[in-house]
Structure formats: C-alpha cells, structure tokens
Structure 1
Amino acid sequence: MPETESARRTPTPSIRVATLADDTALARLDRDTWSPRHAVTPLPEPPYEPYFDVTHRPDEVLVAEDSGGFGGSEGGAICGYVRLVRPTPLACNAHVLQINGLAVAESARGTGLGRLLLRAAGEEAARRGARRLTLRVLSHNAPARALYASEGFVVEGVLPGEFFLGGEYVDDVLMGRSLTEE
C-alpha cells in the first residue's frame, strides 16, 4: 500500500506560553543543550538552579511541546523554547523585544523547530506591540547566524572580542529585524 502524503509528514509541535509547571523540563533542556558555541556562562553543575526566577518569568517563554513523534521525543515533552524579553526597562525602548534564549532538544535538531520558534517569537513580539525584534549571537556560532539571517535578521553591530571563551576572544554579534516592514 503506498504511503500517503499525510503519513509522511513530520508531526508539528504546538507552541504555547510556558507555565511554572514547565520549570523542571526547561531547566533540563537548558543543561542538555549547553554548548560553548553559544553559552557565555559555565556548564551548570549540581545543585541545579530552577529555570524560572525573578528575572526569568514563564510569560517571557514560548515552548514547543511535542504533539507525539516530533523529533523522536514523546508526546507532551518540551522539545524547544524561545525567550522574549525587553532589552532595557526604558519606556523609549518598549517597542523592541529581544530573543534572549533559544534552545532545541538534540532529538528535534534538523527538523525545522528552530525556524518555527523564531517565527513564533516574531508573531508573539508583534502581538505584544513590538516594532523590532533583536538578538545577540556569538560570532563563532555559524549555524545560528545562518538561521537568523535566513529569517530576516541582519547584523546591526559587532562588539569585537567581547567574550573570552575557551582560550579565545569571541565577538558578540548584534542582529535585528523590523516587524513592521514587508
């Protein structure tokens, strides 16, 4: 019996706003996806801190929840997240939101989930009234930079040698995109 197109499609995860109940799963995902390619903080060690605290709130995080079979994870499991924050507390900057964290579980890499989360972040930022979406990425993280560029982010600045990581100086690349232009 020939395989139908719907049977070949990869299940799509649902994207939703995080809740406090997601804390343990998000903290685990953060630890599991830690890499010197993107992290400027040391690898977390026990005892592990909770994901949510006074500066990391559930309403800032969109989670990708597996609807069953996506990327090889179990249905209901969190397989990725993106965090949206205001870059400053200034009223004159309230029209800008910043991606301040994006993670995709190893089992869901290569499935388009990072792109799906970026698009959801753009939609959510626009829904919240933002006119611009920005992010920061380390210069040596070529895969992330390519993904961001393919989604319309452009380099708006570079802070040369901003971080000393793994024995080398790494640039901090500032990228952004308009949410109001076609």
Structure 2
Amino acid sequence: MPEPTIRPAVLSDDAALADLDRRAWSPVHAVTARPGPDEPFFTKRNLPEYILVAELDGRVAGYLRLVPATPLPSNAHVRQIQGLVVDETARGRGVARALLRESAELARRQAAVRLTLRVLGHNTSARRLYESEGFAVEGVLRGEFLLDGEYVDDVLMARAL
C-alpha cells in the first residue's frame, strides 16, 4: 500500500480542498457551519502557506492547517494545529499520522518548541491518534460548544517538539 505524500498547499488546490471540506464536515469535529457549495477553501485567514496537503493515489486525501498560536512575539515559539481532515476513502491508510508528523517537522523548522491543538471531547478517535503521537491533555473547557443540542467539551492538547 503506498504511503501518503505530504506537501505544502498551492492556490490550485482550492477546489479539491473545498470539496474535501464539504464532504468531510461533521459535528463530531467541526464547531463552524457546514461550508457552502461555492465557498472557497482559501481565504484571507486561511492561506495556502498554513496548509499541508496529503496526496494518496495521485489525489488530495487530506490536509492539516498549522498556524502561529497567536500574533504575540512572546508566543512565537508555539504552533497550533487548527484543522486536520482526511477523506473518508483514505482513512486507515496513515494520512492523518503523516500529516501530524510533517506538521511537527515544519513547526521545528519554524523554530517552534511546542505544538498545540484543540479537539472536541466526543471525537475519541482523533484524541487517541493525538495521544499516540505524543500529545497530552492540558485542559478541558467543559461544555464549551453546543452542537446538535448537546454540550461538548473542548479538549486542549499539546506536545513538546
């Protein structure tokens, strides 16, 4: 079975990433509204330079968004994962793990020493994956989101690089 290829995003990935975002959207991992049918993936806030793309079998199979945690100089040593999506047809093939590992390498190249993320409490498969990659729970915001009529915890996780 081929390994996923991880690369930086380019503007021409917009349609494929927007399509993936629409198909993969779920209240299990999303706190925002489902993307609209004509909504672009790249925006002023969501730039290609923040996105790692996973390719498998010659097509986009997933992405990870890696950004500075805040714009503060005192926090410049921290990078935050603000989105990890894998196409349903590519799950179980190492795509998410490859994206996580490449994001850690990229963060190190950017002189970061800490990598953080937030995950919904009910997303147990993602939490297990993050734990297996060295992330530990550092805090829980109880009932932080109301999704489909249920209060859901926001779990803060991090790892050293």
Match of 2:53 among 63, 71, 90: 63
3-state SS, counterpart of residue 43 of structure 1: coil
Q: Is the 8 A contact 2:21 2:35 kept in 1?
A: no
Secondary structure of the structure 1 residue equivalent to 2:53: strand
**C-alpha separation between the residues in 2 aligned to 1:84 and 1:42?**
21
Greater strand share, 1 or 2? 2
> Residues of 1 paired with 2:126 and 2:51: CA distance?
19
Does the alignment pair 1:95 with 2:77? yes
Instruction: Write out per-residue CA displacement over residues 70-119 of structure 1, whole angstroms, 9 at most, x where no aligned residue.
Output: xxxxx2x1101111011211000000000001010111101121111111
Asked if the contact 2:68/2:80 (under 8 Å) is kept, the reply is: yes
Does residue 36 in structure 1 map to residue 27 in structure 2?
yes
TM-score where L is the length of structure 1: 0.86
- Cα distance in 2 for partners of 1:12, 1:115 equals 11
**Structure 2 counterparts to residues 104-119 of structure 1, below 5 A:** 104-119=86-101
Whichever residue aligns with residue 117 of structure 1, its letter is L
1:52 paired to 2:34: no
Give the Å deviation of 1:141.
Answer: 0.3
**Residue in 1 aligned with 2:2?**
11
Question: Which of residues 18, 27, 40 is equivalent to 2:18?
Answer: 27
Question: How high is the TM-score relative to the length of structure 2?
Answer: 0.97
Whether 2:60 is the aligned partner of 1:78: answer yes
Displacement, 1:49?
Answer: 1.4
Across the aligned residues of Structure 1 and Structure 2, the Cα RMSD in angstroms comes to 0.9
Shift of 1:13: 2.0
Cα separation, 1, equivalents of 2:5 and 2:95? 11
- Distance in 1, Cα, partners of 2:36 & 2:48: 23
CA distance in 2 between partners of 1:44 and 1:102 (Å): 15
Q: How does 1:86-165 map to 2 (within 5 A)?
A: 86-165=68-147
1:91 partner amino acid = P
Q: Which has the larger radius of gyration?
A: 1
Find runs of 4+ consecutive structure 1 residues off by over 6 angstroms: none
Matched to 1:107, the amino acid is T
